[in-house]
Structure 1
Amino acid sequence: MKAVVTGNEMKAIDTYTIQEMGIPSLVLMERAALSMVCRMKERIDRADRILCICGAGNNGGDGVAVARILFGQGYSAAIYMAGNPEKWTEETKKQIQIARNVGVPEYNELDLTHIRVLVDGLFGIGLSKTVREPYHTLIEKVNQWRGRRKERQVWAVDVPSGLSSDTGQPLGCVLKADYTVTFGYMKRGIILYPGRELAGKCFVENIGFPGKSLQVHPSAGFTCHVQDFEQLPKRKNDSNKGTYGKILVIAGSKNMSGAAYFAGRSAFVVGAGLVRILTPEANRVILQSQLPQAMISVWEETDRDSLANMLAWADTLVIGPGIGTSEIMAQRLKSVFAGSQCPIVLDADGLNLLAEHEEWYSLLNGRTILTPHMGEMSRLTGCSIDELKADRGKAALKLARERQIICVLKDSSTVVSDGKHLYFNQTGNHGMATGGSGDVLAGVIGGLSGAGEGLFKAAYMGVFLHGSAGDAAAARFGFRGMTSVEIIEGLIEILKN
């Protein structure tokens, strides 16, 4: 796992490194500039004319150092100082002095006529106010220049100027980047949309922040990478089907058997030993044909005692895909919540019914994972979708803390919270915007929970795995051609490898 930080968290790490660990700010600045130059040299040509636009803060100092290093290595690099000289930081003043001593060219006016590569060192992670003039006009001018020719490149220093490093939202306007080189740790605003798109391809560079600085100033946020697949539950030779969890999937309604199939199938694929599906009679034959390895029970034959036996049998419940929101289903869910003690993954129509029956939270006993998309989250919280998207992390954290649940807030950039921590997902793609994808996720999380994973870990690893499966499916079938069937195939491929 890798830390994902806010602007203030990164500032605290930076300050501790400088003041307590004794690593000078100029040393960190030099390392940052050098790491950026190394990344740029992989994608630029010697003949390219490069302009570094620099602000008054240390982000501007980084930009000046980038120009000086490139110039020293024979590239045609120049500087344009956009910030007020009276507000230059001491480090930026020093970098300008060194650059002038070396002979790096400076522009007195912003002229992009012959520029092919632009380095954005205007604002850094400290920006919290709306971008004002003259910077607004400057950013719009650069964006227009970038958009005229595909071969032009913009490289952002740490974060694109005008982007909130915490929420990924534009602060008035954003200087759109093709590449962003961010230092130390990934920033939340570069993972969350629209920031992820505005930042382009992102590189995280270690410029020498000691591990102790993150221990002293820990971040609530984190993300997963390929090596984190090692966290998945290990299977043992000396085991049986009961070892890997018994999942009760309460899903489906008439003409909605697919939701039950996808949830049950994906639970099996991630390793569940046994899966029972409780669904209407209309789905029995279909599911027995599609998923013969699952046990099928139907509501029409389920009385109070048989329901109690099923709930006692299960290690985890997956509830909601395709069940509808009828009054009789509401009564059934209340009985299920009251009669069960095991973990619950609540999805889809289960969430819509919960939004109508807030008193049910008292029955969930801190053992429930909610998996709302933005529309369902809006119904659960009473907030508009625009309000939720303005700060996805804050929304998930708040619901998890207030309701004592795990929140998987599904979106183009999904976040998961237990009320204390935030997982930011970086896997997945727009091809996963297809019917049944959420049902697959519910089954994946339920399968991991049933195998003994803690609720929070089952939730964030399920999201990570589900998105990785979508990426594998897109690589094989393309974005337009993939459906939830292909996502499950991607899941099988990921787990095999």
Structure 2
Amino acid sequence: MRTAYRVEDVRAAERALMARVPEGALMQRAAAGLAAACGQLLGKVYGARVALLVGSGDNGGDALYAGARLARRGAGVTAVLLSPERVHGGGVAALRGAGGRVVDGSGDLPGAGGAVLRADLVVDGIVGIGGKGGLRPGAAELARAAEESGALVVAVDLPSGVDADTGEVRGAAVRADATVTFGAYKPGLLVDPAREYAGALRLVDIGLGGELSAYAPAVEAPQYADVARLLPVPGGESDKYRRGVLGVVAGSARYPGAAVLAVAGALRGGAGAVRYVGPAADAVIARFPEALVSAGPVPKAGRVQAWVVGPGLGDGHGDAGERLRDVVAADVPVLIDADGLRLADASAVRKRGAPTLLTPHAGEAAALLGVERAEVEASRLDAVRELAGRYAATVLLKGSTTLVAGADGGVVRVNPTGTAWLATAGSGDVLSGLAGALLAAGLGARDAGAVGAFLHGLAGRLAAEGAPVGAQDVAEALPAAWRDVRRG
């Protein structure tokens, strides 16, 4: 797992470590890692032009000491001081001693902006991990100059202007090509919208591992090996029931395709069998003759290990509402998606004894929470945690970074795979069937959501390869994604 820790826990770990090492040792470790990363990005350090955007905190000190290392290797380094009266004195002295120069960036001076516009690489050391809100006007102007210059932009610990704990961006912020973070990842580096500002991530080990072991991570991103360990693989004694039979209640006269896509996700996602209940039986059988169809009611559909309900269900007229209520009342794991989220009784969901997985996108989450969609998209971590607590369920919040949170308030999982081409009609229906199949195979709701999102995102990448895809293409790519994960 790639794990991220809250700012207060990282700081506590740093304090504990600083009490045991020589003064300034952690800053020198950070500066060394930062300078090495900058050197690799530049390729050739000698003769390169480097601009440091230096604030008053430790990030500014890290940037200055890293700049001194680059200057000793022949780079032309200019530090733009946004708060000259509060700058790290030792860092300034080190930079000057190495041949670097310093300019005052606290006013609208041509020298400050010019140093940025002429740079090959800009180092963002304006604000540290404790920063809240957007950049101040002067810093925002320099950040814009860095973006316009075409230079590589490297953020120190995290891009200035983003919230380290929540991933929120509440104003102007630095857009980095790469972020060099120290000791541990911060949640905001893994969660949009801040993730989009961070660029490529590099973690520099400064020795916090032992100290951080006292704290639980706030966010974790599964990697290939983590997902491979969770993949259900049939054995010699397996039959369709041991592999997991998934019931699917989806589709309507208006949206029969949703049922087909959910069944496709389930079958390509490893279900031993799929029992479909609903009005789209003809469409399902035409596409998947191996599916077991039933007119209902749900309790008489046959044995299942889990249910998926909601995709394309429509407005709940006819017997759709009854089918939904029967599924929610079932004593097996249930995944509720799409129209099911809008129609399900919240109190009945909360009272369920078996695991429940809700899979809203931002708009559906906003409706469930009674807020605007923009609020969910701006604060995704808060939204997924609030929903999980409110519904006493595991919640998979779909989007540019898909998040999975449990009702226990524990670690939120963030999905590292995916592509913008997955923003296509029916893609979520495929994900519902896939995650439902994993529930039926015996995975817990949090694992089923995380593994499903990982495979779905990877399948989207494999199917797209930089070009538009449809939901059926994503479903067809699931076996290739599965094989890719098993190969590591």
TM-score under structure 2 length normalisation: 0.91
Q: 1:207 corresponds to which residue?
A: 206
Query: Root-mean-square deviation (CA), in Å?
Result: 2.0
Q: For the residues of structure 1 that align with 2:233 and 2:205, how far apart are their CA atoms?
A: 32
1:104 to 100, 103, 112: 100
Which amino acid counterpart does residue 64 of structure 1 have in structure 2?
A: L
8 A contact 2:273–2:291 mirrored in 1: yes
Q: For the residues of structure 2 that align with 1:234 and 1:188, how far apart are their CA atoms?
A: 32
Q: 2:131 corresponds to which residue?
A: 127
Which amino acid counterpart does residue 140 of structure 1 have in structure 2?
A: E
Q: For the residues of structure 2 that align with 1:234 and 1:26, how far apart are their CA atoms?
A: 51
Q: For the residues of structure 2 that align with 1:467 and 1:224, how far apart are their CA atoms?
A: 12
8 A contact 1:416–1:422 mirrored in 2: yes
1:471 to 457, 461, 467: 461
8 A contact 1:321–1:348 mirrored in 2: yes
1:81 matches 2:81: yes
Deviations 1:19-65 (A, max 9, x none): 3xx23462222222222222222221333211112111110110011
1:388 to 351, 360, 376: 376
1:290 to 287, 290, 302: 287
8 A contact 2:463–2:473 mirrored in 1: yes
Q: 1:431 corresponds to which residue?
A: 421
Q: CA deviation at 1:182?
A: 1.5
Q: 1:443 corresponds to which residue?
A: 433
Q: CA deviation at 1:450?
A: 0.8
8 A contact 2:251–2:313 mirrored in 1: yes
Q: 1:486 corresponds to which residue?
A: 473
Alignment of 1:342-353 (within 5 A): 342-353=332-343
Q: Structure 2 vs 1, CA of residues 25 and 406 (structure 1 numbering), >3 Å: closer, same or farther?
A: farther
Q: For the residues of structure 2 that align with 1:486 and 1:142, how far apart are their CA atoms?
A: 40
Q: 1:159 corresponds to which residue?
A: 158
Q: CA deviation at 1:417?
A: 0.4
Q: CA deviation at 1:366?
A: 5.5
Partner SS for 1:154: strand
Which amino acid counterpart does residue 292 of structure 1 have in structure 2?
A: P
Aligned length: 470
Which amino acid counterpart does residue 137 of structure 1 have in structure 2?
A: G
Q: 2:398 corresponds to which residue?
A: 410
Q: Structure 2 vs 1, CA of residues 118 and 145 (structure 1 numbering), >3 Å: closer, same or farther?
A: closer
Q: 1:401 corresponds to which residue?
A: 389
Q: 1:372 corresponds to which residue?
A: 360
Q: 2:266 corresponds to which residue?
A: 267
Q: For the residues of structure 2 that align with 1:244 and 1:118, how far apart are their CA atoms?
A: 53
Q: For the residues of structure 2 that align with 1:12 and 1:471, how far apart are their CA atoms?
A: 39
1:462 matches 2:463: no
8 A contact 2:456–2:478 mirrored in 1: yes
Q: 1:53 corresponds to which residue?
A: 53
8 A contact 1:158–1:183 mirrored in 2: yes
Q: For the residues of structure 2 that align with 1:84 and 1:366, how far apart are their CA atoms?
A: 60
Q: For the residues of structure 1 that align with 2:143 and 2:340, how far apart are their CA atoms?
A: 48
Q: For the residues of structure 2 that align with 1:284 and 1:129, how far apart are their CA atoms?
A: 52
Which amino acid counterpart does residue 248 of structure 1 have in structure 2?
A: G
1:94 matches 2:60: no
Partner SS for 2:232: coil
Q: For the residues of structure 2 that align with 1:172 and 1:258, how far apart are their CA atoms?
A: 41
Q: For the residues of structure 2 that align with 1:171 and 1:25, how far apart are their CA atoms?
A: 35
Deviations 1:149-178 (A, max 9, x none): 43x221111111111112322243112222
Of 63-72 and 318-327, deviating more is: 318-327
8 A contact 1:251–1:259 mirrored in 2: yes
Of 452-461 and 229-238, deviating more is: 229-238
Deviations 1:185-218 (A, max 9, x none): 22222222221222222223323222x3222122
Q: CA deviation at 1:84?
A: 4.2
8 A contact 2:71–2:95 mirrored in 1: no
1:322 matches 2:312: yes
Which amino acid counterpart does residue 142 of structure 1 have in structure 2?
A: A
8 A contact 1:12–1:217 mirrored in 2: no
Partner SS for 2:24: helix
Q: Structure 2 vs 1, CA of residues 100 and 42 (structure 1 numbering), >3 Å: closer, same or farther?
A: closer
TM-score under structure 1 length normalisation: 0.89
Q: Structure 2 vs 1, CA of residues 129 and 333 (structure 1 numbering), >3 Å: closer, same or farther?
A: closer
Q: For the residues of structure 2 that align with 1:161 and 1:254, how far apart are their CA atoms?
A: 51
Deviations 1:113-139 (A, max 9, x none): 53221111111111124533xxx2232
8 A contact 1:366–1:404 mirrored in 2: no
1:221 to 219, 223, 231: 219
Once the two structures are aligned, what percentage of the paired residues are identical? 31
Which amino acid counterpart does residue 252 of structure 2 have in structure 1?
A: S
Q: Structure 2 vs 1, CA of residues 430 and 129 (structure 1 numbering), >3 Å: closer, same or farther?
A: closer
8 A contact 1:180–1:202 mirrored in 2: yes
Q: Structure 2 vs 1, CA of residues 127 and 366 (structure 1 numbering), >3 Å: closer, same or farther?
A: farther
Q: For the residues of structure 2 that align with 1:483 and 1:389, how far apart are their CA atoms?
A: 24
8 A contact 2:122–2:146 mirrored in 1: no
Q: For the residues of structure 2 that align with 1:114 and 1:363, how far apart are their CA atoms?
A: 62
8 A contact 1:337–1:363 mirrored in 2: no
8 A contact 2:80–2:103 mirrored in 1: yes
1:117 to 115, 121, 124: 121
Q: For the residues of structure 1 that align with 2:346 and 2:331, how far apart are their CA atoms?
A: 19
Q: 1:31 corresponds to which residue?
A: 29
Q: For the residues of structure 2 that align with 1:117 and 1:99, how far apart are their CA atoms?
A: 16
Q: For the residues of structure 2 that align with 1:234 and 1:56, how far apart are their CA atoms?
A: 54
Instruction: Give the gaps of 5 or more residues in structure 1.
Output: none
Q: For the residues of structure 1 that align with 2:285 and 2:222, how far apart are their CA atoms?
A: 36
Q: For the residues of structure 2 that align with 1:176 and 1:364, how far apart are their CA atoms?
A: 44
Q: For the residues of structure 2 that align with 1:204 and 1:473, how far apart are their CA atoms?
A: 30
Q: Structure 2 vs 1, CA of residues 331 and 235 (structure 1 numbering), >3 Å: closer, same or farther?
A: closer
8 A contact 1:251–1:322 mirrored in 2: yes
Q: 1:238 corresponds to which residue?
A: 237
1:333 to 324, 327, 330: 324
Q: 2:108 corresponds to which residue?
A: none
8 A contact 2:430–2:475 mirrored in 1: yes
Q: 1:4 corresponds to which residue?
A: 4
